[in-house]
A and B are shown apart, each in its own frame.
Chain A
Amino acid sequence: MSQKTLIEAIRDGLREEMERDDTVFILGEDVGAYGGAFKVTDGLYNQFGDQRVRDTPISESAIVGYAIGAALMGMRPVAEMQFMDFISCGFDQIVNQAATMAYRYGGDTGVPLVVRGPSGGGISGGLFHSQTPEAWFTHTPGLKVVCPSTPYDAKGLIRSSIRDNNPVIFFEHKYLYRSIKGEVPEEEYVIPLGEADVKLEGDDLTIVTYGWMVHQSIAAAQQLEKEDGLSVEVIDLRTLSPLDRETIFESVKKTNRALLVQEDKFTGGIMSDVSAQITESIFEHLDAPVMRVTAPDTPTPYAPPLEKFYLPNQEKIVAAARKLAAY
């Protein structure tokens, strides 16, 4: 066991998969000698060479397209988007090509690729360095979407994402890259896709969330316990698609109150779906409406006071939880 940051855990996961399976290779902008814009791939170029840690021009469409072609031929490419904001430049290749390949091949041939990169705000990145575009991809059949919140989860999930025979979009929160540390085992382990994790147990209220908001929610839960004597359960989705309905439902059946927290915007985010699924399936277990904490429907603003207003945080989660508890 050792203490690792999120970025170290991801790097270790990439390295160990590349050591284990030589069909795994990385491609992206500045990933080679430079080690990547955020240094996720730092050192891998020296270890594996320029064929397996491959620099590309600024061509997100080609990066993803090439990855698809290589995957069809039996490789396991890991394509890096320098910022997940730029994933929109490769959108057609992801949603129309990669996501539909298996279907067009009659379910016989898969595309084992991973598209990974940094997402999320909190660093004054502005409109194009702070996006959380997960919902475009959870909405697309044929893709799996992952967003870990801890180093332990990140390493286990990047490994299983690489080993999955279908396209996986892997979102890493750039703010968490270096700001959190966690225990990571030395031995090989994977975390299966499609499994949420109860990060904190509680009886009075369930928070369902992912990514950076997991940490904000845990802090909020601790504050609520201390100040209000409220026992809050925090569920980290980890995989956004396919959704782990069982874990969510089990928790909400226990607490009867659900608060869904996402850094993404109010309309069309993943939590809108989770809310619909909860009321559809376990209506008679609800003692209050399902509520959400989200960012507003605006692009992510740049100036610090604007971004602070925009982002959900511990304070907003506590306020919402109190309102929900009192209903």
Chain B
Amino acid sequence: MSRQGKIIGGVYLGRGQEAISVGTTFDLRNDDIVSPIHRDMGVFLLKGMPMRNLMCQILGRKAGPSKGKDSWSHTGDMRYNILASSSMLGSSVPIACGAALATRMRGLDSVAVTYFGEGSTARGDIHEAMNMAAIYNLPVIFICENNQWAYSTPPDREIGGGKIAKRASAYGMEGLSLDANDVLLVYEKVRDAIHRARQGGGPTFIECVTYRMMGHSEHDQAAYMDKNQTAAWERRDPIGRFKQYLVEQVQFTESEDKRMTERIEAEIADARKFAESQPFPEGPEALEGVFVP
């Protein structure tokens, strides 16, 4: 759709990182909070946002959650407790922590899951957020998506001190690093963290090690990426792995797979058709929505 000129502006796919979106949100309740970023579109859907809404958002239509005001993932919907993010990667993390603070102050056991890339951990906002979350013992799960590329910068030039998960202990916080292309592993560890947080056990930092399977955006040729490395990670594709697991463990059949795929494609086609038929907002609507009444 981007190459058909239907998506205006930047497109940032999360191919190869799907296990993170699924594993982290599968056990969340409606009253739990998420603050997904640009490669976590799956989180929007799993948290309850209808695909049609998300598609309208991507295509800049008035019917989308931001009513065309911002692009891609820079929106949210408090009916599903999805916090809106921005291009300032890292700035969404203190906000998610603040949401967790609010639920604690109200005596609720909701948790907040906040997503950020390994690159954005270089920003002060994340340090401040983690520091304060540890002091306040907040129910926050920090999901660091280490896909090993911050645009064209690899971790050894982005992360001082090597492994990011080590930083958690500096904040007196539980921290772990895992193979995030294994959806069941992600699910299991996040489930534990959610459980701990609900019981008042405080924040957890989970470094999800994965790989960015294409350039930073659709406009990035990514000649700096090693094709062999990408091919190796292709063999660890989370969807493929999980399918293999299902085939081996529960005799998942080809026809079941086909039926499921068709159903999903139909849903996507419906959402796409719906969104493409929706009008863009009109020019003067740019003046609306700056304040709420």
Establish whether residues B290 and A142, one from each chain, have CB atoms under 8 Å apart when the complex forms.
yes
Establish whether residues A105 and B91, one from each chain, have CB atoms under 8 Å apart when the complex forms.
no
**A88: Cβ under 8 A from any B Cβ:** no
Establish whether residues B91 and A65, one from each chain, have CB atoms under 8 Å apart when the complex forms.
yes
Establish whether residues A69 and B100, one from each chain, have CB atoms under 8 Å apart when the complex forms.
yes
**A141: Cβ under 8 A from any B Cβ:** yes
Residues A93 and B292 in contact in the complex (CB < 8 Å), given A56-B132, A73-B103: no
Residues A65 and B102 in contact in the complex (CB < 8 Å), given A92-B125, A103-B289, A107-B292: no
Establish whether residues B98 and A74, one from each chain, have CB atoms under 8 Å apart when the complex forms.
no
Establish whether residues A69 and B290, one from each chain, have CB atoms under 8 Å apart when the complex forms.
no
User: Which residue of A has the minimal Cβ distance to B67?
Assistant: A106
**A274: Cβ under 8 A from any B Cβ:** no
Residues of B within 8 A of A166 (CB): 291-292
Establish whether residues A67 and B98, one from each chain, have CB atoms under 8 Å apart when the complex forms.
yes
Chain A interfacial residues counted at CB < 8 A: 41
Establish whether residues A102 and B291, one from each chain, have CB atoms under 8 Å apart when the complex forms.
yes
**B190: Cβ under 8 A from any A Cβ:** no
User: Which residue of A has the minimal Cβ distance to B81?
Assistant: A73
A75 and B67 CA atoms in complex are apart in Å by 25
Establish whether residues A108 and B292, one from each chain, have CB atoms under 8 Å apart when the complex forms.
yes
Residues of B within 8 A of A93 (CB): 91, 94-95, 125
Establish whether residues B66 and A70, one from each chain, have CB atoms under 8 Å apart when the complex forms.
no
A52 and B102 CA atoms in complex are apart in Å by 11
Establish whether residues A105 and B129, one from each chain, have CB atoms under 8 Å apart when the complex forms.
no
Residues of A within 8 A of B95 (CB): 65-66, 68-69, 72, 93, 97
Which of A's residues lie within 8 Å of B, judged by CB? 25, 51-52, 56-57, 59, 61-62, 64-75, 77, 92-93, 96-97, 100-110, 141-142, 144, 165-166
Which of B's residues lie within 8 Å of A, judged by CB? 33, 64-67, 69-70, 74-78, 83-84, 86, 88, 91-103, 105, 112, 124-125, 128-129, 131-132, 135, 288-293
Subset of 24 A-B contacts with CB under 8 Å: A57-B132, A61-B94, A62-B131, A65-B128, A65-B129, A68-B95, A69-B96, A69-B99, A69-B101, A70-B99, A70-B101, A73-B103, A74-B102, A96-B91, A97-B92, A97-B95, A102-B289, A104-B76, A106-B64, A108-B289, A110-B292, A142-B291, A165-B292, A166-B292
